[in-house]
Amino acid sequence: MANQQPNSGNPRVDIEYRRKKSAEEMKHQVITFAMMIFLTIVAFVAAGYEGFSAWFIVPFILILAVVQVIFQLYYFMHMSHKGHEAPALFLYSGALVGFITIIAFLTVIWW
């Protein structure tokens, strides 16, 4: 993984390349971190502002939350890197099952 220290004795490991990768990675993390703080502020503002109805605020905040989860997973937990296919598969399957459950409860039981 690109952010690891070169700890293998293999001479073919390209330290230069790794450095560059890590720097890039770092840049992405800083950017997403700033974005996440910004989104959090937006969420607070949306909730605090009198003029919006609950029908707008709730779905809006939920969307922001989903975006934050994706940032978290891909930029901080490195899900975009190689070798994370199986966790990704199970994560999405789990999310799908959970989502279906909630939709069903909303539509079949309480609608």
Give CB contacts under 8 A, 24+ apart, made by 59-66.
Answer: 64/39
- The alpha carbon of 45 is separated from its chain's Cα centroid by a whole number of angstroms, namely 21
In angstroms, what is the minimal distance from the CB of 101 to another protein?
6
| Amino acid, res. 58 | V
**Residues near another protein (CB under 8 A):** 86, 90, 93-94, 97, 100-101, 104-105, 107-110
Instruction: Decide: helix, strand or coil at residue 82.
Output: coil
Q: Which is nearer to another protein, 49 or 82 (CB)?
A: 82
Q: Which is nearer to another protein, 15 or 109 (CB)?
A: 109
Q: Which is nearer to another protein, 13 or 97 (CB)?
A: 97
